[in-house]
Structure 1
Amino acid sequence: MTRMKDKVVIITGAAQGIGAVYAKALAAEGARVVIADVLDGAPLAEEINASGAEAMAVRADVADEVSAKAMAQAAMKRFGRIDVLVNNAAIYASLEIQPFEDIDLNEWDKVMAVNVRGPFICARAVAPRMKARGYGRIINISSGTPFKGTPNLLHYVTSKGAVLALTRALARELGEHGIAVNTLAPGLVLSEGVIANQAMRDKLTAPVLASRALKRDQTPEDLIGPLLFLASDESAFMTGESVVVDGGSVMH
């Protein structure tokens, strides 16, 4: 498969979970992958390299501007270009479902730092490289929750709503440079983190399944096709859009 042949893709939060699935899928399509995470992405990079594809791991804190710039510089040093940024890193599965009055302000700030400040900083780190070549794809990962107003996760839902707005405004600013900016918005995915959070699964699984037109759990693999579409030239004339992939819980 060569849909992404030789394209250089940075994926934040890619050392495990859905981000790791994204990294493997992009590599399988010919992309050269940069696994950016606060966790150690080296084992995944080694796995991808062993498969015959090309990957590197970079320690990166998306909420820190110096770290994000270093991430972009590392990608440029190794591969000489940046074609795609997937802003995947986010805080979600570790959160407790609770009324908004009970959300700790420090937790609110941490969610905003990673989920909103992170995509902003990372986009700013790669944009000059994309502008220089007149080409780029930025894919921001949001969620179906802001479309539905999901309760008891107000900090998370608010952060993902901000990602939708960030995408639209950034698409306007970067369009003249040949850079497309779109959003991928999953539903409740059975990721490693969600599977580990039994309380979250107990509270959300039944109502989410009931709301879907397609009555089954969502897996990370359900997101591969839409991600590849947004990352490749198949979506060349599409920008500022939000692609919801959640089995028809949200229809917009």
Structure 2
Amino acid sequence: MSLAEKIIVVTGAAQGIGAAYARRLVEEGGTVVLADRNHEGAEATAASLGGPGKALAYPLDVADRGSCEALAAHLGGAHGRVDGLVNNAAIFSTIRMKPFWEITDDEWDRLMAVNLRGPWLLTSVLLPLLRASASASVVNIGSDAVQLGRSGYLHYVAGKGGVQGMTYSMARELGEFGIRVNTLSPGPVYTEVARETVTPAQREAMIAAQALHRAAGPDDMSGVLAFLLGDDSAYLTGQTISVNGGLVHR
């Protein structure tokens, strides 16, 4: 599953699960670009990552076309191609749970701009560099909150449901270029990032509902991500891979 010599972009990689993704990909030998609005945090995370690969940081706002185009220009000049794209950046941990009829227009629009528009926009802008790769793979990060129909997060659930649908269409449209597109759909994952909306009782209830009765950490997701980006999954595209400890079944 070596990712040696692959150029991989991971959005939202300054902290949390995105940082864990970047760490595993560097360990597998990849050259990983940690792209995040929090550039200082991304630089600090990149500096902390050890392994046979390289970790580089670059500022990125996935909701802004100019920011995406600046990243594309940088990658084109530095590498000439992109072999892997992980559309991980999303608004989640700061969401205040509420009934959907209390979600404001601004909350809806801000979340959709990052969680749904962002993956479409960045993939579109990076497409020439993805086409320049001999074996490009795009991994959109979904969520099994869609399958659960989690209450209190309707805009998040709707956005991630859109990401899954987008994956299917992207895979169809990009297949002619040999570019694979899949969704990695985690269940509940616990990181160092605080989630004020999940109480200890709710956490224990979700763990009890899983077939595997333990909490998931980022490392439970990062191995699956490395597989989806590597050559061992060369014939896998247009799929949603749930990694949830048996909480829900497709």
TM-score (norm 2): 0.94
Q: Residues 207-246 of structure 1: matches in 2 within 5 Å? A: 207-246=205-244
Shift of 1:51: 4.8
Shift of 1:106: 0.6
Q: Residues 1-252 of structure 1: matches in 2 within 5 Å? A: 3-40=2-39, 41-48=42-49, 51=51, 53-193=53-193, 196-202=194-200, 204-252=202-250
Q: 1:52 to 1:179 in 2, by over 3 A?
A: closer
Q: 8 Å contact 2:116–2:159 — kept in the other structure? A: yes
Number of residue pairs the alignment of both structures matches = 248
Q: 8 Å contact 1:97–1:200 — kept in the other structure? A: no
Query: Matched residues in 1 for 2:70 and 2:201: separation?
Result: 40
Query: Matched residues in 2 for 1:199 and 1:86: separation?
Result: 26
Query: Matched residues in 2 for 1:114 and 1:219: separation?
Result: 24
Q: 8 Å contact 1:34–1:75 — kept in the other structure? A: no
Shift of 1:192: 2.4
**Aligned Cα RMSD in Å?**
1.5
For residues 171-214 of structure 1, the C-alpha deviation after alignment (integer angstroms, 9 at most, x for no partner) is 00000100000000001110222xx2233234631332232111
Give the secondary-structure state (helix, strand or coil) at the position aligned to 1:55. strand
Give the secondary-structure state (helix, strand or coil) at the position aligned to 2:199. helix
Q: 8 Å contact 1:137–1:181 — kept in the other structure? A: yes
Give the secondary-structure state (helix, strand or coil) at the position aligned to 1:56. strand
TM-score (norm 1): 0.94
Q: 8 Å contact 1:134–1:177 — kept in the other structure? A: no
Query: Matched residues in 2 for 1:78 and 1:225: separation?
Result: 27
**Identity percentage over the alignment?**
41
Q: 8 Å contact 1:135–1:177 — kept in the other structure? A: no
Query: Matched residues in 1 for 2:61 and 2:201: separation?
Result: 30
Q: Which amino acid aligns with 1:32?
A: T
Give the secondary-structure state (helix, strand or coil) at the position aligned to 2:197. helix
